[in-house]
Amino acid sequence: MSTADDPARRDVLVCVKRTPAVGARITLTEDRMAIDTRHLGFTVGPHEECAVEAAVRIAEEHRAGGGTARVTVLTVGPPDAAEQLRYTLAMGADDGVLVEVPTEELAPEPTAASITAAVRAAADGGTRYDLLLFGTDSAVAGNAQAGIRVARALGLPMVTGIKGMEIDGEGVVLHRETPGGNEVYRVPLPAAVGVKEGINLPRYPTIKGRMRARKAELRTVPGRTEPGGLRTVGLRCPREDRPETVVLGTGAAAVPAVVEKLTELGVL
Amino acid sequence: MLLVLIDTDEDGVPGPGTDDLLAVAHGTGLPVHAVVIGTVPDGLPAECVHRIRHDLLSGYAPEAYGESLAQLVTRAGPAGLLAAATERGDEVLAQAAARAGVPLATRCVALRPGDPWSLTRLRSGGVLLEDAELSAPVAFATVAPGAAAGAETPAATGTPEIVDFTPELDPALARTRVVERVPRAEGVSLATAPVVVSGGRGVGSAEGYAVLEELADLLGGAVGCSRVATNNGWRPHRDQVGLTGTRIAPDLYIACGISGATQHWVGCMNARTILAINTDPEAPMVTRSTYAVVGDLHEVLPALVDALRARVRGSGHAPPAGVSARSET
Ligand SMILES: Cc1cc2nc3c(=O)[nH]c(=O)nc-3n(C[C@H](O)[C@H](O)[C@H](O)COP(=O)(O)OP(=O)(O)OC[C@H]3O[C@@H](n4cnc5c(N)ncnc54)[C@H](O)[C@@H]3O)c2cc1C
């Protein structure tokens, strides 16, 4: 089951989020409403980067078996998020869709509505996704719900926190780690999955991949921008009340002081 | 009235974060009703327990759990629905919120009822706090583990009344349901080890971790790592400490060759004591740690291991109890 007119075809949609690559300290904008990103690089969220890798592997395997496959990566974000889409194309995705909104941080409800609309538009165009992949939660906002809202709107099953995934004839087998051990789910396709970092080791884009991605045409569609039910009043850094660092020494000469400290702390 | 979902394991033991959840719920001043899917634990500090029962709920099932909660909210008409902000709590409440058509505030550390509710939640794994307002007919929120640190856990004041609720569930919801459970192997787990010896880019190679493992062994602890180590394939992802790895709160965290980027820091910032070993005295990990050794870990760690081994031999004592946390890479 897949794209309406070609049952041997597999279509995977991966939703990724542009994430500021903050360093050791976070600076806020003057109005304290956002992270100051003027001097920061951006990246694809790590869970989502693994989701892209998972999708590319599924497509490769399907093609190796004689089928056709397509991986579409979608991001809801500002125009600059095109950079992150190109990165995923360089990793091996086939198409990029930028659902454009004027902000870095959109509330989960409009994000989900934007993605849902894009999936429905694709269906109207004859593309039915077998699998929708999301990161389990985004790195900065950590709302952990956009994917579930999309799945609910589309009537798809969804499991999050997934660190293992295999597609077989009957659907997809999903593995999740819990404090007590591992859980296994077996979900029919089409389905949505919230992926976690650790499911795979994402590949580094090749030079060829980067060249291809640079020239690739991205599709841009407008996103939804209505506010969600949660309104940010302001961000702040929690107070850090750590005492001044005590330097125990330099190099191997510090070892006796370390041993003494470990004894004092009761770990020896 | 607030509905508070108490996640339990098969034996009815409340899951992680339950004390914080109950403390924050009682802190709102609203009467607290517990919701339990499965066995009702003893001594819940709640006026009433809503026990949800249905054949489809015999094992963990995110969609059926979410649907049941959405139906219970319609029936019971609470001011809010809370759960612990664990992976499961966030997932189930998102399922319920999507079905009820309401917003959801995850990872809250403070909640004040009102119109709108005002709240504080964790962002970026906890290095940022977000003050926000939640406008909704029913406030759906998850409470971050540790939110009520230091506060007293509310005590049960008698046996709560148990009210059964049987939701109407479409058998199709059984599609997302645990079909098999694989219990965790024995050993010191990173999440609960009292001592964690962690290595980052400074370790330089997979082989470089041998001395960290030896040190962890001697201290009865586990080995952790930064994302650079997992990305380079030096360590498995389950050893990763941080935002997208495991968040830990050991008694002692020894950070070797780790710079202390925010996304790593959020994973270890709750350690009681941090010892950093780093060539760079200005590395954030060093300036934020309790103790530091400035130097090359390839010199410091072997010397430290030698000294500890000599001590063990000298005293004739075995190293502290604890199983080897050697990881099967
Ligand atoms: C969205 C997002 C999520 C992330 N999640 C995580 C996460 O969960 N966990 C995580 O760890 N990172 C995470 N990261 C990555 C994080 O930003 C850093 O890149 C990473 O933590 C750096 O690892 P490191 O400290 O080992 O390496 P570096 O930053 O390169 O630091 C290496 C340190 O080792 C010291 N050093 C070098 N050689 C030696 C030596 N011989 N002896 C002693 N010291 C030496 C150096 O002085 C330096 O301080 C995330 C990033 C993003 C954008």
Both ends of chain B: CA-CA distance in Å? 50
Q: What is the pLDDT of residue B318?
A: 56
Amino acid identity of B257? G
* Res. B133: pLDDT tops 50: yes
Q: What is the pLDDT of residue A255?
A: 98
The whole-number average pLDDT for the span B116-123 is 98
Taking one residue from A and the other from B, the number of pairs with CB-CB distance under 8 angstroms is: 255
Q: Residue B268's closest CA among B126, B148, B108?
A: B126
* Res. A210: pLDDT tops 90: yes
Closest residue, chain B, to A187 (C-alpha): B175
* Residue B200, C-beta contacts closer than 8 angstroms, at least 6 positions apart: B225, B226, B228, B229, B255, B256, B257, B258, B259, B264
Q: How far apart are CA A174 and CA A156, in angstroms?
A: 15
Q: How far apart are CA B34 and CA A16, in angstroms?
A: 36
Q: In which band, very low, low, confident or very high, does the pLDDT at B324 lie, cut at 50, 70 and 90?
A: very low
For ligand 1, the distance from its centroid to the CA atom of residue A31, given in whole angstroms, is: 30
The whole-number average pLDDT for the span A3-21 is 87
Ligand 1 atom nearest to CA at B240: 9
Q: How many CB atoms lie within 10 A of CB A170?
A: 10
For ligand 1, the distance from its centroid to the CA atom of residue B202, given in whole angstroms, is: 9
Judging contacts by C-beta atoms under 8 Å, the chain A residues touching residue B263 are 22, 139
Give alpha helix (H) positions in chain B.
18-27, 62-76, 87-100, 210-219, 227-231, 262-268, 284-288, 297-315
Decide whether any atom of ligand 1 lies within 6 Å of the A46 Cβ.
Answer: yes
* Residue A30, C-beta contacts closer than 8 angstroms, at least 6 positions apart: none
Would you give the distance in Å from CA B315 to the centre of its chain?
38
The whole-number average pLDDT for the span B95-107 is 98
Q: What is the pLDDT of residue B326?
A: 41
Q: What is the pLDDT of residue B157?
A: 82
**DSSP label at residue B135:** -
Ligand 1 atom nearest to CA at A20: 53
Closest residue, chain A, to B294 (C-alpha): A250
Q: What is the pLDDT of residue B328?
A: 37
Q: Residue A70's closest CA among A13, A8, A154?
A: A13
Closest residue, chain B, to A240 (C-alpha): B288
Mutating to test ligand 1, I would choose from B197, B209, B243 the residue with most ligand atoms within 8 A of its C-beta, which is B243
The whole-number average pLDDT for the span B316-329 is 47
SS3 for B33?
strand
Tell me if chain A has a CB within 8 Å of the CB of B112: no
- Across chain B, mean pLDDT equals 93
Min Cα separation B157/chain A (Å): 30
- Tell me the pLDDT tens digit for each residue of B56-65: 999 999 999 9
For ligand 1, the distance from its centroid to the CA atom of residue B117, given in whole angstroms, is: 38
Q: Do A24 and B129 touch (CB under 8 A)?
A: no
* Res. B111: pLDDT tops 70: yes
Would you give the distance in Å from CA A202 to the centre of its chain?
12
Judging contacts by C-beta atoms under 8 Å, the chain B residues touching residue A232 are 130-132
* Res. A236: pLDDT tops 90: yes
Tell me which residues of chain B, numbers 151 to 190, contact chain A at a CB-CB cutoff of 8 Å.
175-184
* Res. A1: pLDDT tops 70: no
Q: Are B36 and B42 in contact (CB under 8 A)?
A: no
What φ, ψ does residue B196 adopt, rounded to 5°? Answer: -125, 125
- Using the structure block, give the residue that is written with the tokens 């579930």: A148
Q: What is the pLDDT of residue B184?
A: 83
Q: How far apart are CA A216 and CA B56, in angstroms?
A: 47
Q: How far apart are CA A80 and CA A84, in angstroms?
A: 8
Q: How many CB atoms lie within 10 A of CB B313?
A: 9
Decide whether any atom of ligand 1 lies within 6 Å of the B245 Cβ.
Answer: yes
The whole-number average pLDDT for the span B282-292 is 97
Q: In which band, very low, low, confident or very high, does the pLDDT at B329 lie, cut at 50, 70 and 90?
A: very low
Q: What is the pLDDT of residue A3?
A: 58
Q: In which band, very low, low, confident or very high, does the pLDDT at B69 lie, cut at 50, 70 and 90?
A: very high
Q: In which band, very low, low, confident or very high, does the pLDDT at A241 lie, cut at 50, 70 and 90?
A: confident
- Tell me the pLDDT tens digit for each residue of B211-245: 999 999 999 999 999 999 999 999 999 999 999 99
Read off the tokens for B289. Answer: 């740690």
Q: Residue A92's closest CA among A118, A62, A122, A125?
A: A62
Q: Are B123 and A230 in contact (CB under 8 A)?
A: no
For ligand 1, the distance from its centroid to the CA atom of residue A176, given in whole angstroms, is: 26
Decide whether any atom of ligand 1 lies within 6 Å of the B268 Cβ.
Answer: no
The whole-number average pLDDT for the span A167-188 is 92
For ligand 1, the distance from its centroid to the CA atom of residue B227, given in whole angstroms, is: 7
Q: Which of B124, B215, B227 to mutate to test the interface with A (most CBs of A within 10 A)?
A: B124
SS3 for B240?
strand
More confident residue, B10 or A236: A236
Q: pTM for the full model?
A: 0.95
Q: In which band, very low, low, confident or very high, does the pLDDT at B312 lie, cut at 50, 70 and 90?
A: confident
- DSSP assignment of chain A equals --STT-TTEEEEEEEE-EEEE--SS--B-TTSSSB--TT-EEEE-HHHHHHHHHHHHHHHHHHHTT-EEEEEEEEEE-GGGHHHHHHHHHHT-SEEEEEE-S-S---HHHHHHHHHHHHHHHHHTT---SEEEEESS-TTT----HHHHHHHHHT--EEEEEEEEEEETTEEEEEEEETTEEEEEEEPSSEEEEE-TTSS-PPPPPHHHHHHHHHPPPEEEE------SEEEEEEEPPP--PPPPEEEEEGGGGHHHHHHHHHHTT--
Q: What is the pLDDT of residue A2?
A: 54
SS3 for B134?
strand
Q: Do B107 and A141 touch (CB under 8 A)?
A: no
Nearest to B98 among A148, A201, A245 (CB): A148
Q: What is the pLDDT of residue A170?
A: 84
Q: Do A108 and B99 touch (CB under 8 A)?
A: no
Decide whether any atom of ligand 1 lies within 6 Å of the A139 Cβ.
Answer: yes
* Res. B191: pLDDT tops 60: yes
* Res. A124: pLDDT tops 70: yes
- DSSP assignment of B52-85 equals E--GGGSS--HHHHHHHHHHHHHHH--SEEEEE-
The whole-number average pLDDT for the span A76-88 is 98
Judging contacts by C-beta atoms under 8 Å, the chain B residues touching residue A35 are 124, 128
- Using the structure block, give the residue that is written with the tokens 């806020």: A28
Read off the tokens for A167. Answer: 């597609």
